[in-house]
Amino acid sequence: MRDFTMSVCLLFAGAVVTDRRFCVRLVGGHENDDQKQNLLRPVKDNLGLRTPGVYKIPCECGKCYIGQTGRTIMERCKKHQSCMRLYYPDKSAVAQHSLETGHKIDFSATSILDKTSGYWDLVIKEAIEIQLDGNNFNRDGVYS
């Protein structure tokens, strides 16, 4: 709640505030509290996983999968789930890990590491994230 209070103070000062929890944009004064509340939307209410980018899906074992997509991350997660359900381990490293180990993949905890849509940006940033995270089950040299 401390961050909320700080954001509201800045709201009254007519500032533009962006942090992990709130995205506030104000161009003028507002008459009532409802209008002010409407400006304080959590960031996750924005696009969420409906964006292209580099993403991370955790597994219950503590390892994770790092991937990239030029479509939306949400669509790619559904594709991974579909590969698990239809038993296509060759089409998804996530499906392969889950099907081989029996581990539960926590799709609800999928996070965005980088929002970008350019092909080479995606490929390079994914490769960097895979190297930085030493605890993943990505296939060597295969980014799918």
C-beta of 98: minimal distance to Zn ion in Å? 7
Residue closer to Zn ion, measured from CB, 43 or 61: 61
Chain contacts with Zn ion (rule: CB under 5 A): 59, 61, 103
C-beta of 131: minimal distance to Zn ion in Å? 20
| Exposure string over 117-132, b if 16+ CB within 10 A, otherwise e | eeeebbeebbbebbee
Residue closer to Zn ion, measured from CB, 30 or 103: 103
In three-state secondary structure terms, 90 is helix
Separation between Cα atoms, residue 78 and residue 84, nearest integer Å: 10
Residue closer to Zn ion, measured from CB, 11 or 94: 94
